Structure 1
Amino acid sequence: MSAPAPRPPSVDSLLGPGGALEEALPAYEHRPEQLQMARAVERAFSEGSYLLAEAGTGTGKTLAYLVPALLSGRKVVVSTATKTLQDQVFFKDLPLLSEKLGLRFEAAYLKGRGNYLCLHRYESFEKDPQFVSREEAKQWPLLKKWVTQTETGDRAELDLPESFATWSRLSTTSETCLGSRCSLYETCFVTRMRKRAEVADLLVVNHHLFFADLALRSSGKRTEGVLPFYDAVVFDEAHALEDAASGHFGCSVSNYRLEELSRDAVAALQAKDERHATLSALAQRVRSHADALFLQAPRALGMSSQESTVALRPETMGKLSGALEQVREGLAALASFAGSEREPELAAIHRRAEEMAEQLSFLEKSESADHVYWAEARGKGLFLRASPIDVAKELRDRLYGALDTVVFTSATLAADSRFDFFAKRMGMYDDEGQPVTRVRTLAVPSPFDFPRQSALYLPTHLPDPSAPGFIEAAAEEIIQLCEVTGGRAFVLFTSLRNMVRAYELTATRLPYQALLQGERPKQQLLDAFRQTPSVLFAAHSFWEGVDVPGDALSLVIIDRLPFASPGDPLVAARIRQIQARGEEPFDQYQLPQAALALRQGFGRLIRTQADRGIVAMLDRRIVTKSYGRVFLSSLPPAKRMEDTTELSRWFNGPVRPVPPVRSIR
């Protein structure tokens, strides 16, 4: 008799007790939470349903979705919010499944076009290299040598400064790419990347690339995206999807974008070409009118500083109507000339000029009820923007109709133990509250022992955050708390103003290295923080996606409950939209959004079973207001304290034995 054929691998045989992963990794211990999630993901793939899976930190959710995705036999996209997780999935977790478990698959790692060298633009730049500074010019010999050696064209292979301005002249975007009409299309690094992706079983991308590609495909004007067609999507760090999607389903016209169009138009033809003078004159006309528009715009729109945001309204945009019309006329003339020629470079100029003219008209009218319009000043850039107020309809129209399986997972999806908020924001229910597809939910807890590992400090003696003197009182509290832990603290703020003021009040008084967000690149700040006991003052990007396991981080201080500013044009528009439906925006939007954001901030503290530390919330409203219950019920069950003496005794006292550390992936 012949031996029975071996059973194909399954979720249980790989991740279950006594399974292949436990056998392959001596330090690994089976986690019921991981297997529970993996089975739910497997079911979603097999029956074609949508899954919302909240998995607490340490459950091993990455392998819990990778294993069933690879076993499904379908072409799956895994999309992450951060490059850190994207790297982990591709360079750590997938090799583990291939080398230790023997799974056979092809995977591809994809980034946006701007990360790759454009051979066409490189050839053009090489003929007359121009640099913004001598420091950038010094990088040119190294870069030229790299071009002859690289197989990927990925900028990450180079040790270039983050602010290396020349890279924008050497790379392309979906707007500036010539596509299949480019003479170097077949040798293009993006083309090669896409060909690898076409034969891959699993694609690892980030949210911004995913939605940029989705918006490009569904625009009706261009269909060639970076991603090939796929069968299913897993969104990791899915709590970040709404912001990522809204940024790509709208439009934006900036002084930078118009400058780039003018520069590319001048470079589209060689100087000896008899048409060059006409094209250059038309490009210069666009540039001069754009300069005039963006010189007038800040005052006309009521922008108070170089770092400000204001809503755009028809009456305010009316003050710029003359300048806007001149820019549109210049774009129309440029488009008309370029459209009459045959070169791919001029065809791209024609398309770009027409699109920008159309978008400027849309922005000037500012009348679409389902869009929010605003202007944003950032450094030397001024951006006129429009985005859909609610991405729910966009996702239903662009994504859900084409896929029967989508998995959303994160450590923070449920607010007040309910998935309703996230599901509605993501468009899984229609306007009448009916599900648009089969949706299942799952919440698996973290295996961490939060009552033993963490304390939640909730002082009530500080002033209300809106009261005079709050930040001064908070600064004194920060100093006292850092004495308890010997520094090793993140101090997280909801506003840059409070962050800078607290730093000014405490930095010289702290006997530890004080670091301030913005003074150095993010990675350099984290490296310095890990190397010596420090106190890092940060906002925004440090609330999530930052991983500092071990003793380097023992204290997370949060200045106030992270309610989104109602002065933000997008937030204000969402509030008005909810009010128009006859609903309460605080309960339906502002409170659950803030509760999820607070959970993200708390999540910076405990990253492994060996970690131990304190989260301090300096906003008394979490205790004194009735809605504080929603925040507290959403947080892990840490030991709650109100007194720094008790807190110090807990932190510096005897520690209960730590259970065996399990492999965390």
Structure 2
Amino acid sequence: MAAVEDVFSPTGLLSKTIQGFHPRQAQVDMATAIELSLKKNTQLVVEAETGTGKTFAYLSPVLLSKKKAIISTGTKNLQEQLFHRDLPALRDALAPEKQVALLKGRANYLCTHRLQQAVSHSGELSKDLQQQLVQVKQWAVRTRSGDVGELNVLQEDAAVLPHVTSTVENCLGRDCPDYDQCHLVKARKSALEADIVVVNHHLFFADMALKDVGFGELIPAAGAVVFDEAHQLPDIASQYFGEAVSSRQLHELAQEIKLLYLTEVKDLRQLDSVGDKLISSLRDWRLAFPTDPQRGNWREWSQHEPVIAAAARVTESLELLQQVLKSALGRHQDLDQAYERCVLFMQKWEQLLSTDRTGFSFWFETTARQITLHQTPLSVADKFGGYVRASEMSWVFTSATLAIGESFNHFTEQLGLQDAQTLRLASPFNFSSQAMLCMPRFLPQPHEREMEAALLDIARQVVDANPGGTFLLFTSHRMLQRIAQQLEAFTDRLILTQGSTSKRELLDAFVNDGKAVLLGTSSFWEGVDVRGDALRCVVIDKLPFASPDDPLLQARVEDCRLRGVEPFTKVQLPQAVIALKQGAGRLIRDRHDSGVLIVCDNRLVNKGYGKTFLASLPPMQRTRSLEQALEFLKNTHITEATDVTDITDITENTEA
């Protein structure tokens, strides 16, 4: 079997079989390090900046290895891109005999049993839901995978999807009459037989959490795991090592109970009344919190009298529902399964009401209609690090943003990676000629009222000067909306605002227009790949420190203080540096790109910690003069079209 270094040589397999392939040293260094990790079952952390070709660098040694491997990505979209585009191209060149499989969480697969239930009771659904159900039913006859991602006629969050997919709580498992035809079961079987399984981080940690209590079997045993976009892991792992209960989950349980009364156990009228009682208590529970969506400290809010009273009514409703369901055990399998779900929810609910335990952040988040309680561990280092050390596997963690300056300590300590080897690979792009960083003079402080007018003025000047497209990235929705409303009066360019339609549609419109202005918050700071003149300038409103009101941040800060550690440098600064690196990374995505990054925050220059941010950014030209930055923007143009056949460039797409 060929060595990885030979595969990447100018006369190697990739150069011979993949049109437009150009080997680069950073790519070879990364692939060689991963090859060694696979052989020795070690932990490897790699920061591979944009343009290094990290996708090919980790796929190649995995394909050449004899080990079964799991590749985990940051998002479902990146997961699909990897499986449908990047992996087939490399597999055909290096290991055509290898079997690969795509595996998603159960909520991504059609449940034929629940579809039949929904169709049989469609008269009780709204007209919109009935129309969506017809589309699902028509597609269900054609689909082979059952992956609802194929349903392009529906939005990603279509209201019908919870009615035709399953959750851990409502899945009947082997008791399901459609078990032999279950799309999820088929996908899991395919994964068990595959040499390489492509998953996403949420699925990986959901399964790992189940393994911890002896039930995980979704992700098959493997000899190697590769995490792409690994900077997301600490926060995602925290979610799955904690507990959460939402009013939506409880509301769905109540609705299903009422439906069972109407269809299967019509003599058990008490089911209908206890379902109504739970729905009513959940409505009161939501009304005990402010109308506007927010996140808050549950330890504090759980002491408010209206919240205490509303929570007590939910507890009473759940207890009554549990008693009624228990008295009806054996009447119907869906009723038995609902009882098990009710018991589980009751256990979690009681746990989340007990907020006096240490080592956790207790917090809530609300939407217009729902509320979710969370219990999140302050650290996953012991659990995840222990899991890694106990395994006899190779673990690879890679992203364009993992290090703070030259140090990986922040990342490795969060995940408990005590024995990890680290590698930092710089981008091959010529940032000093391709890009300029501007930190405008004479700006107000970020918290001052005058900042809004200053941001609007900079945005107006940039749009006037920029021959291509512009990203305006914000740290708050409020500022985004205020600038968006005012900017339209100053330009006839297409203004695209996050939230007005789906992210996919916004990006498609932005690229197709070529000189549009897109205003976005956190989800546009990473996982977006726009090349060429379509994106020539990125404006960031301020350094992306987490909100001091964020309950998880508050808990981590308090924990640092209790341990005698300075929380700003340990928690707040590293998170902000990684976020700024992600935002800055939207600008230069190709060796032919050019453009300007403008950071509208004087703290980057006049605070000591500004040096930490600057040391983590690419080596662009720097200026304090907005006029100089605008001249650079006007006078530097792409002189050569991007070669779309260069797959090594295309594989850097991390679109989410």
Give me the TM-score of the superposition, normalised by structure 2.
Answer: 0.93
Q: CA deviation at 1:465?
A: 0.7
Tell me the residue number matched to 1:458.
Answer: 439
Q: Secondary structure at the match of 1:64?
A: helix
Secondary structure (helix, strand or coil) at the match of 2:422 reads strand
The match for 1:165 is 159
Q: Residue 86 of structure 2 corresponds to which residue in structure 1? A: 93
Give 1:182-197 correspondences, 5 Å limit. Answer: 182-197=176-191
Deviation at 1:449, TM superposition (A): 0.8
Partner AA of 1:157 in structure 2 = E
Rounded to whole Å, the distance in 1 between the matches of 2:195 and 2:264 is 49
* Cα 1:398/1:263, change in 2 over 3 Å: farther
Query: What letter is aligned with 1:633?
Result: A
The answer on 1:349 being equivalent to 2:342 is no
Indicate whether 1:440 and 2:433 are aligned. no
Identity fraction in percent: 36
Q: 1:314 to 1:542 in 2, by over 3 A?
A: closer
Which of the numbers 205, 210, 233 marks the counterpart of 1:211?
205
For residues 228 and 470 of structure 2, the distance between their equivalents in structure 1, rounded to whole angstroms, comes to 27
Q: Distance in 2 between matches of 1:372 and 1:660?
A: 47
Q: For residue 198 of structure 1, what is the aligned residue in structure 2? A: 192
> How far apart are residue 339 of structure 1 and its match?
4.5
- Aligned in 2, Cα 1:130/1:172: closer, same or farther, shift over 3 Å? farther
Name the residue aligned to 2:502.
Answer: 521
Aligned residue for 1:306, secondary structure, equals coil
The residue number in structure 2 matching 1:180 is: 174
In 2, Cα distance between equivalents of 1:22 and 1:653? 36
Gaps of 5+ in 2: 652-656
Which whole-Å CA distance do the structure 2 matches of 1:447 and 1:367 have between them? 51
Residue 492 in structure 1 maps to residue 492 in structure 2: no
Q: In the alignment, is residue 293 of structure 1 matched against residue 285 of structure 2?
A: yes
Alpha-carbon distance in 2 for matches of 1:274, 1:649: 75
Residue 475 (str. 1) matches residue 456 (str. 2): yes
Q: Counterpart of 1:4?
A: none
- Equivalent pairs counted in the alignment come to 642
Asked if 1:649 corresponds to 2:631, the answer is yes
Which residue of structure 1 aligns with residue 493 of structure 2? 512
Residue of structure 1 equivalent to 2:138: 145
Q: For residue 139 of structure 1, give the secondary structure of its aligned residue in structure 2.
A: helix
Offset at residue 504 of structure 1 (A): 2.1
**One of 313, 321, 324 as aligned partner of 2:311:** 324
Q: Offset of 1:420 from its aligned partner?
A: 0.5
SS at match of 2:302: helix
Q: CA RMSD in A?
A: 2.2
* Matched residue, 1:309: 295
Secondary structure in structure 1 of the residue aligned to 2:122:
coil
More divergent stretch after superposition (81-90 vs 488-497): 81-90
Q: Which moved more, 1:84-93 or 1:557-566?
A: 84-93
Mapped pair 1:407 → 2:381: no
Q: Deviations over 1:324-352 (max 9, x none)?
A: 34433432343344456244423321221
Offset of 1:359 from its aligned partner?
1.5
Which position in structure 1 is the counterpart of 2:383? Answer: 394
Q: Is 2:372 aligned against 1:383?
A: yes
Are the aligned partners of 1:79 and 1:236 in contact in 2 as well (CA < 8 Å)? Answer: yes
Aligned match of 2:28: 35
Alpha carbons 2:261, 2:272 under 8 Å: kept = no
Aligned ranges for residues 545-624 of structure 1 at < 5 Å? 545-624=527-606
- Distance in structure 1 (CA, Å) of the matches to 2:638 and 2:145: 50
1:9–1:289 distance in 2 versus 1, CA, 3 Å: same
Counterpart for residue 257 of structure 1: 249
Alignment-derived partner of residue 119 in structure 1: 112
Which of 67, 73, 76 is equivalent to 1:83? Answer: 76
> How much has 1:646 moved relative to structure 2?
2.1
2:621 is the counterpart of 1:639: yes
The amino acid of 2:435's aligned partner reads S
* Cα distance in 1 between the residues matched to 2:336 and 2:5: 55
Q: Which residue of 2 aligns with 1:5?
A: none
1:593–1:114: structure 2 CA closer, same or farther, 3 Å change rule? Answer: same
Q: SS at 2:395's partner residue?
A: strand
**CA shift for structure 1 position 160:** 0.7
Contact 1:314-1:364 at 8 Å conserved across structures: no
Contact 2:37/2:394, CA 8 A, preserved across alignment = yes
- 1:559-593 C-alpha deviation (Å, 9 max, x unpaired): 00011111100111111111111111111111111
**Partner amino acid for 1:62?**
T
For 1:403 and 1:130, the matched residues in 2 are separated by: 54
Letter in 1 for 2:174: S
Q: In 1, Cα distance between the equivalents of 2:125 and 2:267?
A: 28
* Whole-Å separation in 1 of the counterparts to 2:420 and 2:80: 29
Aligned equivalents of 2:506 and 2:29: distance in 1? 37
Q: TM-score, normalised by structure 1?
A: 0.92
| Residues 360 and 375, structure 2, Cα contact 8 Å, conserved in 1 | yes
Counterpart code for 1:646: Q
Question: Do the aligned residues in 1 keep the contact of 2:596 with 2:632 (CA within 8 Å)?
Answer: no
Does the 8 A contact of 2:468 with 2:533 survive in 1?
no
Q: Determine which of 225, 233, 241 is the counterpart of 1:241.
A: 233
Instruction: Decide which moves more: 498-507 or 390-399.
Output: 390-399
1:71 CA displacement: 2.3
Cα distance between partner residues in 2 of 1:580 and 1:265:
46
Contact persistence 1:131–1:137 (CA under 8 A): no
CA distance in 2, matches of 1:35, 1:354: 54
Match of 1:370 among 356, 359, 382: 359
Q: 1:629 to 1:137 in 2, by over 3 A?
A: same
Following superposition, the deviation at residue 641 of structure 1 comes to: 1.6
1:496-550: per-residue Cα shift (whole Å, max 9, x none)?
A: 1111111122222123111111111111111111121111111010000011111
CA contact (8 A) 1:317 1:365 kept: no
| CA distance in structure 1 between the partners assigned to 2:217 and 2:228 by the alignment | 21
CA distance in 2, matches of 1:600, 1:115: 28
Residue type of the partner of 1:14? V
Aligned partner letter, 1:162: E
Instruction: State the partner residue of 2:608.
Output: 626
Cα deviation 1:153-185 (Å, max 9, x = unaligned): 111222212342111111111222122222221
Determine the C-alpha separation between the residues in 1 that align with 2:431 and 2:351.
Answer: 51
Structure 1 residue runs without a partner (length 5+): 1-7, 429-434
